[in-house]
Amino acid sequence: MKILTENNYKELAPNTNPFSIEDMSSDVKDTFLYLTSAYRYMLTQYLIDKLDLKIIDDSIKQSGLEFLPVSNENMDIYQWFSCEELSYIYLRNNVNIINLSKEEREELYNMIKNDDFKYNEKIAKYIESTYRKVIHENLKISPCLINFGPSSLTFMVPNDSLVIGIRYDEFNLNDEPEEAWGERHDKQITYLSNIFGKISNTAKEKLKIACYVIKYDEFSVSKIKSK
């Protein structure tokens, strides 16, 4: 499991938590980052299970349309966090563990204190009962739209929604003539539009939550600055 650093945490956007991580003591900060990382890891496993994300991710790779994965150094913090499990798909929400109750945070700590993150029924039930509040962005007016990317309506979604990102190395010609790349690119976009609908519909049916799937590219993310 990857552990977010303080610098990683500062790269998250949006970040609506009403506190500054810099004001925490060293011990509190380490615990906060560890719990945040553990929750994100377990939520990712939950979504892989419930939304068949690994199956869908593999289908993109095996589509014959040559979706080139983004190199690690060109990923943003969100895709980097789950790149060992998924090549293209990732959780784009923030994980706001401040929204958990004291008892829920203690339960989280007790589940992970032995570094046992193997996905199981207990973890699934815990995530299922808490993730809606954890992905919720804390705004004075809710529900409302919030930006999960550049200043464009494309990246504006309700602050209580599940947000899934998809990104590949879209503009890499891969030694193809530009015309051939253009034809393949059009087919890729059509293919992904069906993927978007499949993920959103499955989330609505199985998880009973609104889910927005957003395609990102090199112009709509901030590359990870530190790991």
158 pLDDT more than 90 = yes
What is the structure's pLDDT at 112? Answer: 85
The answer, yes or no, to whether residue 226 has pLDDT greater than 70, is no
pLDDT at 113 over 90: no
pTM of the model: 0.95
d(CA 155, CA 149): 5
Neighbours of 197 (CB within 10 A): 11
Which whole number is the average pLDDT over 163-190? 94
Whole-angstrom distance, CA of residue 167 vs CA of residue 80:
11
Helix (H) or strand (E) holding 212: strand 211-215
What is d(CA 45, CA 149) in angstroms, rounded to the nearest whole number?
Answer: 24
Domain boundaries, the chain: 6-215
Residue-averaged pLDDT of the chain: 94
The dihedral built from the CA positions of residue 148, 149, 153 and 154, taken in this order, carries a sign that is: negative
CA distance 129 to 119: 15
Type of residue numbered 58: D
Q: Which pLDDT value is given to residue 120?
A: 92
DSSP for 102-151, written as a single string: HHHHHHHHHHHTT------HHHHHHHHHHHHHHS----SSSS-EEESSSS
Share of the chain above pLDDT 70, in %: 99
Residue range 132-144, pLDDT digits in tens: 999 999 887 878 9
Summarised one tens digit per residue, pLDDT across range 16-56 is 988 889 999 999 999 999 999 999 999 999 999 999 999 99
- 11 contacts 225 by C-beta, under 8 angstroms: yes
| Rounded Cα gap, residues 146 and 115, in angstroms | 34
Residues 121 and 110: their CA atoms lie apart, in Å, by 15
- Give me the residues paired with residue 212 across strands: 163
Instruction: Say yes or no to pLDDT of 5 above 70.
Output: yes
Residue 155 above 90 pLDDT? Answer: yes
Beta strand ranges found along 152-210 (DSSP E): 156-158, 162-166
Query: What is the rounded CA–CA span in Å between residue 89 and residue 83?
Result: 8
- Taking a C-beta distance cutoff of 8 angstroms, is the pair 11, 90 a contact? no
Tens of pLDDT, residues 56-111: 999 999 999 999 999 999 999 999 999 999 999 999 999 999 999 999 999 999 98
pLDDT value at residue 19: 85
